[in-house]
């Protein structure tokens, strides 16, 4: 059993846990004002709590980028999502659902972001502009998910790798829009990652499968691959390892993209506007490494 989260005072802010296992409120600071020492503490806090939430932060896009760059030396440039490039911020992804009655949500599945890349995002910072009642976001701890696996399944998942593919994501989740499909096809991304990773900072084992880009267990027939992916996916659904955030305008959430999965609750929002902005960072020095050495193929 992992240690339960506690309230912790850092020099420039305090973190109060939202559950014993995952999530913490950041109190007593605006993230734009943290100096380098404050950002170093923020890093430590994120690896400890998995997700950090701040009320009423109202960060500028530049401030969001500065926070993200404290975690990885490169900012994400998303392949197909809409961005604020027209305002000089191509690194700011606009998370917005089309305002039509039959608009599909593409975030209501448990996933890590952009895992079809060799170097997925290390972390993301998401800020709410407007979110309808009920369209919450949920996160689940993947170190807790691993701990909860029976020993036999720990061993099994520690010995396999999973193929992640952006075209597969598109085909499975019916993105619909021809322009997006064209962009995804043109910049197809594909990567093979261990199903259990050693967290780059904490060293803890984390289940790293999710259910977005996941195509198949590497080297396994479909009949074996699909049930294993389903079992891994079930682990994100355990309420005891989750935290759920009800958004207010100006709220931010920062998450550890290697150690947690997330789920955008689609809710029945009809034509109401749901708009958030996301900045994420990554590094060529940080990739999902296997928790245990994998057998040679």
Residues that bind Fe ion (CB under 5 A): 113
Q: Which is nearer to Fe ion, 113 or 251 (CB)?
A: 113
Q: How far is the CB of 292 from Fe ion (least distance, A)?
A: 27
The residue whose Cβ lies closest to Fe ion is 113
Q: Which is nearer to Fe ion, 98 or 224 (CB)?
A: 98
Which residues have CB under 8 Å from 36's CB, separation 6+? none
Longest dimension (CA), the chain: 53
Query: Which CB sits closer to Fe ion, 54 or 210?
Result: 210
How far are the Cα atoms of 67, 99, 182, 269 from residue 254, in angstroms, in the given order? 9, 26, 30, 24
The CB-of-244 to Fe ion minimum distance in angstroms stands at 15
Phi-psi region of 58 (alpha: psi -120 to 50; beta: other; left: phi over 0): left
Least distance CB 35 / Fe ion (angstroms)? 30
**Burial class for 36, CB neighbours closer than 10 Å (0-12, 13-18, 19+):** exposed
Q: Tokens representing 267? A: 């809710």
| Smallest separation (angstroms) from Fe ion to the CB of 236 | 12
Pick 116 or 149: Cβ nearer Fe ion? 116
Least CB distance from residue 1 to Fe ion, whole Å?
29
Closest contact distance (angstroms) between CB of 150 and Fe ion is 28
Q: By C-beta, is 113 or 256 nearer to Fe ion?
A: 113
- Among the listed residues 74, 119, 150, 114, the one whose alpha carbon sits nearest the alpha carbon of residue 262: 114
Closest approach of Fe ion to the CB of residue 256, in Å: 13
Per DSSP, the three-state class of 154 is helix
**48 to each of 9, 21, 108, 255, how far by Cα in Å?**
13, 10, 25, 11
Q: Please give the distance of CA 84 from its chain centroid, rounded to a whole number.
A: 20
Of the pair 34, 135, the CB lying nearest Fe ion is at 135
Say how many CA atoms lie within 13 Å of 6 toward its Cβ.
Answer: 5
Nearer to Fe ion, 14 or 275 (CB): 275
């Amino acid at each position: 059993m992992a240690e339960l989260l506690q309230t912790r005072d850092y020099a420039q802010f305090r973190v109060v846990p939202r559950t014993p296992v995952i999530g913490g409120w950041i109190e007593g600071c605006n993230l734009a004002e943290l100096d380098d020492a404050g950002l170093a503490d923020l890093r430590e806090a994120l690896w400890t709590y998995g997700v950090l939430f701040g009320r009423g932060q109202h960060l500028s896009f530049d401030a969001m980028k500065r926070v993200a760059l404290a975690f990885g030396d490169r900012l994400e440039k998303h392949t197909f999502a809409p961005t604020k490039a027209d305002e000089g911020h191509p690194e700011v992804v606009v998370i917005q659902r089309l305002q039509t009655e039959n608009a599909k949500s593409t975030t209501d599945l448990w996933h890590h972001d952009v895992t079809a890349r060799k170097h997925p995002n290390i972390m993301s910072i998401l800020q709410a502009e407007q979110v309808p009642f009920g369209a919450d976001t949920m996160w689940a701890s993947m170190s807790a998910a691993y701990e909860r696996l029976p020993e036999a399944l720990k061993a099994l998942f520690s010995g396999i790798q999973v193929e992640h593919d952006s075209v597969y994501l598109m085909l499975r989740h019916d993105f619909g829009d021809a322009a997006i499909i064209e962009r995804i096809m043109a910049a197809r991304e594909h990567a093979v990652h261990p199903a259990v990773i050693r967290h780059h900072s904490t060293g803890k084992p984390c289940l790293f499968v999710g259910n977005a880009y996941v195509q198949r267990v590497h080297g396994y027939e479909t009949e074996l691959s699909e049930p294993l992916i389903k079992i891994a996916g079930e682990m994100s659904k355990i309420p005891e390892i989750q935290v759920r955030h009800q958004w207010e305008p100006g709220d931010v959430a920062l998450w550890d993209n290697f150690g947690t999965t997330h789920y955008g609750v689609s809710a029945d929002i009809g034509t109401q506007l749901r708009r958030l902005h996301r900045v994420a960072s990554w590094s060529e020095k940080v990739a999902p490494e296997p928790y245990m050495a994998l057998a040679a193929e």
